[in-house]
Structure 1
Amino acid sequence: MVTEDEATPDSRDGQSKNTIIMVTEGPSIPDPREWRVINAWSIALAGAILTLCWLVWYKPDPYRDILLFVPDGLIVTFKVTVLSICCAVPLGLITGLGRISRNRVINLVASTYVEVIRGIPLLVQIFYFYYAVASLLQLSPTQAAVISISFCYGAYMGEVFRAGILAISKGQTEAARSLGFNRFQTMFYVILPQAWRTILPPIGNECIAMLKDTALVSVVAMPDLMQRARSYANKSYLYFETYTVIALIYLIITLLLSKVVSIMESRLNYYDGKK
C-alpha cells in the first residue's frame, strides 16, 4: 500500500516540500544522510554475516552442506527478480500515467487494473497464471512466474509513480507549457526527472520486496532458492537448520540491496543539489 502526506510547495524550486511516499512492504531504505558506522543497518548486516559464518565454522555438517546446495536456486531467484523488475517498472509507469490521465477510458482501465490486482493475493495470481493461463498460452514456469509477479507489482508501482508525479507542483507544468512544451515533453522532460527523487526509494523498496516474494514461485516447482531449501529439508529432515540458513541469506541480500538504493538516492540528491 502506498500513502502520501500533505505537501507544501517549495518557493525556491516549485517542488513539493515534505512529501513522503510510504510503502508498507520490503525493508526500510537506510537514510543516505546517516553515515554513522554503527546503525541499525550495519548491526543487522554484521549480525547476519557473522551468524552465518559461525554456523558454517561451528557445525559444517549440515550448515556448510546447505550453503553449498542452494547457489543454483539463488541464480534462479535473481533471474526471476531481474526479469520481473524489467517488466514491472515500465508497467508501473504506464499505470501511474494512466491513473492521472484526463482521458476517462484510460483512467478507468488503469484504475480497474490497480483495484483488481491489489485485491488478489500474489500467491493466487501465481497459481492462476501457472495453471490456467500457462496451459492456454504454453508458458514455461519461468514465464508464468515473471508475468504474475510483474502484473502484481506493476499495480503497486503504478501508485508510487502516481503519487510521485502528483507531488510536483502544478507550477512546473504551467512553466513548461508556457515555454512551448506539449504534454508528452512536459511529463518526460520536466515532471518525471523531478519526481524521480521522490519515487526512487519506494520503487527500490518494491524491487527488494519483489525479490523476497519470488520465494512464492517455489509452489509451482520453480527451482529457486526456496525450492532448493525445501528439497534439502525434505531429504535430510533438517528443517530448522535449512530455513535458518535461507533466512540469513535473504536477510543479507535485502540489506545489501537496500544500501544500493540508499547510495543511488544519495547520488541523485547530490547531483540535484549541484544544479
Structure 2
Amino acid sequence: MAPKQDGKDDFPWWLLAAGAIALFLAVQIAINDLYSQIFTIVSKGVWITIFVTLVGFALATLFGLLLAVMGLSGSLLARQVARFYVEIIRGIPILVLLFYIAFVGAPGFVIAWNFLMTPLIEAGLIGELLVRDVSLLWRAIIALTIGYSAFISEVFRAGILAVDEGQIEAAKALGLTRLQRFRFIVLPQAIRTILPPLGNDFIAMIKDSSLVSVLGVADLTQMGKVYASGSFRFFETYSIVAYVYLLLTVGLSLGLRALEKRLRRADEERSGGRD
C-alpha cells in the first residue's frame, strides 16, 4: 500500500527547479551577447508557431466536433464515414500526413480546382477563380487540422456520451429539438469533461507545429535550424529553442490545471448547495 502523502509531498519542487533553469537562461539572454543574438533571431519564428497552432487547432476543433456529431448520429452512413476517417487518420503519423498533404494533396487540389473552374470561366459564368498555388504555411496548417481533428473528435464523443441520458430524455419530453438539446443540455455539460483533454491536445499541437519546419516554414524550429547550421552553435541555439517551447507549453499547462481546479471547485460548491 502506497504511503499517504501530505501537503509537503505535494509541493511542486519540479516547478521550482524548472523556474530556476528558466531564470538562469533568462539571465544568460540578458547578459550574454551570443544568447541574446540567438534569442532575437529565433523569437522571430514564435509568431508563425503561434499562428499555425491557433488556426490549426481552431479548425481541427470545429471539424472534430462535426465528426463527433456524425459518429453519434442516427444515420448509419454518417457513422461509418466518421469512423473510417477517424481510424485511418489516427493511424498515420503527423509527419507523414504533413508530407502527403504538402506534396500530394495540395498540388492535386490545385489541379482539380482549376480543371473544374476553367470551363465556367471560359463560358463567362464566373470570374477569375483559378488557384495558382497553396502556400507551404497553409499546407502545414491543413495537415495539422486533418491530423488533430481525428483525435479531437474522440474527445468530443467521449464528453457527449458522458452526459446523463436521463437529462436528454427530459429535454425530449419538454419538446426541445435535437439541435436545442445539443446546444442547451449536452454541450454545456460535456464541455467540463472535454476541456482537460482538449487543452492537452492544444499543448501537443504547439509541439507538433515544429514539424512544419521540414517544409521550410519559418517557425521557431526552422529559425533555430537555420542559425545553428550557419554558426555551428548547436548547443546554445537548441537550448534557446527548447526554452521558448517550454515557456509556451509549461505556462499553458499550469493555466489549464488552474482552470480545472476552479471548475472542480465550482462543481463541488454547486453540489454542496443542492445538498
TM-score bin, normalised by smaller chain: 0.7 to 0.9
Alignment of 1:81-120 (within 5 A): 81-120=53-92
SS at match of 2:81: helix
Partner-residue secondary structure (3-state), 1:102 = coil
Distance, in Å, in 1 between the alignment partners of 2:101 and 2:17 is 36
* Structure 2 runs not aligned, ≥5 long: 1-6, 111-132, 271-275
Structure 2 distance, partners of 1:214, 1:131, is 18
Over 3 Å counting, the alpha-carbon distance change for 1:109 and 1:89 in structure 2 is same
Q: How many residues align?
A: 241
Instruction: State the percentage of identical aligned residues.
Output: 40
Shift of 1:40: 5.2
Q: Which moved more, 1:187-196 or 1:265-274?
A: 265-274
- Please report how far the alpha carbon of residue 250 of structure 1 lies from its aligned counterpart in structure 2 after TM superposition: 0.8
The answer to whether structure 1 residue 263 and structure 2 residue 258 are counterparts is yes
CA–CA distance in 2 between the matches of 1:211 and 1:50? 22
Alignment of 1:183-202 (within 5 A): 183-202=178-197
Give the Cα–Cα distance (whole angstroms) in 2 for the partners of residues 166 and 268 of structure 1: 20
Q: CA separation in 2, counterparts of 1:48 and 1:222?
A: 29
Give the counterpart letter for 2:93 in structure 1. Answer: P
* Larger RCO (CA under 8 A, 6+ residues apart): 1
3-state SS of 2:134 partner: coil
Superimposed CA distance per residue, residues 67-88 of structure 1 (whole angstroms, 9 cap, x where no aligned partner): 1111210111001111111101
* Cα root mean square deviation, aligned: 2.2
Tell whether 2:257 aligns with 1:242.
Answer: no
| Corresponding residue for residue 119 of structure 2 | none
Greater percentage in helix? 2
Amino acid in the other structure paired with 1:223 = A
Alpha-carbon distance between aligned partners in 2 of 1:44 and 1:110, rounded to the nearest angstrom: 44
Structure 1: segments with no counterpart, 5+ residues: 1-33
Q: Does 1:172 align with 2:167?
A: yes
Mapped to 2, the partners of 1:232 and 1:202 lie a distance apart of 35
Determine if contact 1:134/1:140 at 8 Å carries over to the other structure.
Answer: no
Whole-angstrom distance in 1 between the partners of 2:210 and 2:97: 14
Task: Return the alpha-carbon distance in structure 1 between the equivalents of residues 261 and 78 of structure 2.
Answer: 35
Report the equivalent of 1:147.
Answer: 142
Match of 1:56 in 2: 29
Query: What TM-score do the two structures reach when normalised by structure 2?
Result: 0.81
Question: What does the per-residue CA deviation read over 1:174-200, in whole Å, with 9 as the maximum and x for residues that have no partner?
Answer: 111111112221112101100101100
C-alpha distance in structure 1 between counterparts of 2:21 and 2:143, whole Å:
31
- Closer, same or farther in 2 for the Cα pair 1:41/1:104, shift >3 Å? farther
Tell me the secondary structure at the aligned position of residue 70 of structure 1: helix
Structure 1 residue 98, shift from structure 2 partner: 1.5
Question: 2:12 is matched with which residue: 24, 31, 39?
Answer: 39
Structure having the higher Rg:
2
Query: Which amino acid in the other structure matches residue 170 of structure 2?
Result: A
Equivalence for 2:95: 123
Is 1:226 aligned with 2:232?
Answer: no
Match of 1:70 in 2: 42
| Distance of 2:182 and 2:149 partners within structure 1 | 20
Q: Do the aligned partners of residues 99 and 63 (structure 1) sit closer, same or farther apart at CA in structure 2, a change above 3 Å counting?
A: same
**2:19 aligned partner, one-letter code:** A
| Partner Cα separation in structure 2 for residue 214 and residue 48 of structure 1 | 24
